[in-house]
Amino acid sequence: MANTLSTFTYRKKYMQTMLQAQLRKALVAEKVCMVDNTEAKTIENPYITQFTAAITGLTGTYAINDVTTTDDTLTVNQEVKWAGHIFDYESRLARVDLFNSVVDEATYSIAYGIDYFVVNNLCEDATGAYTTPAGGFNTTNTNTILANLASKVMGFADVYKGLFLIIENTDVPGILGSQMASGFSYADLALRNGLLTSQAGIDIYVVRTGTFVDATIGTIAVTNSGHRVFGVKNVATYASPRGIQMEEKGVSGKTGKEVVVYGYVGFKLWATKTDLIVDITLA
């Protein structure tokens, strides 16, 4: 007798694939961090003492420095999750595909949760610091802010990885106004196409108002209200072992299915790179 697969099996596989694909497109965290989806609970990255080369006259002698090693470790110790129940009558009588709607809603919730966690930790762990001119990202200030931020990291070898700026949607009017007021072809592009995602060589990512917070996220306390974050890409790591998982299950006493989406996350801004990330305070 031939083995067969139920339509439920196919639907679950399809939903899982669609969820992962949409998350990869949606996450700001994946644009600015290195991503690790292996089974590793910890990622170790020890570093050695940094030295400065000596320049002397012709002596033929040299000074010996002691090399010390410091451990630096990312630990996956947080969980992100979303759950909902679809009653059988809802899915059967609805004119829309409720399971696809659930995937869309779960994708947004999980993506926002991961970005909320990663963006706040990135800002919290940054040792670079910058305070904007009064008014924050208004049209007059934007070019000055971008130039000052770029100057914070220029000259470091890692800059070739690219620069990023994460703002909230309330900052968009100033940046968009700055772009539309810029000269000729650049302004024309901004006027025709709306917000340009890059300015002054810096990739700009927008999150919703209230993403930068003073709060405890999972088990980690952050104080980022009124802040934004800038820096070099791929100097921090966001870990999500096996990515995001999805389960459908029957629940006793209820018709239909319960849908659960969950995953495990960890974050680390590596100790030797913290000055390549700048905590921006809005004035």
Average pLDDT over residues 179-204: 74
- The sign of the dihedral angle between the CA atoms of 110, 111, 114, 115 is negative
pTM of the model: 0.83
pLDDT exceeds cutoff 50 at 1: no
Confidence of residue 254 (pLDDT cuts 50, 70, 90): very high
Does the pLDDT of residue 50 top 50, yes or no? yes
Looking from the CA of 13 toward its CB, the CA atoms found within 13 Å total 6
Dist CA 278 CA 126 (whole Å)? 6
Instruction: Using the predicted structure, report yes or no on whether residue 196 has a pLDDT greater than 90.
Output: no
Asked whether the beta carbons of 229 and 44 are under 8 A apart, the reply is: no
Average predicted confidence (pLDDT) for the chain: 86
Does the pLDDT at position 232 exceed 50? yes
Token code pair at residue 109: 């919730």
228 Rama class: left (phi>0) / alpha (psi -120 to 50) / beta: beta
Q: Phi and psi of 113, rounded to 5°?
A: -60, -45
Which of 226, 272, 211, 268 shows the shortest CA–CA distance to 34? 268
In this prediction, residue 22 carries a pLDDT of: 64
Structure tokens at 265: 């996350």
pLDDT of 250 reads 87
Cβ of 96: how many Cβ atoms within 10 Å?
Answer: 8
Q: CA 35, CA 160: separation in Å to the nearest integer? A: 18
Does 18 score more than 80 pLDDT? Answer: no
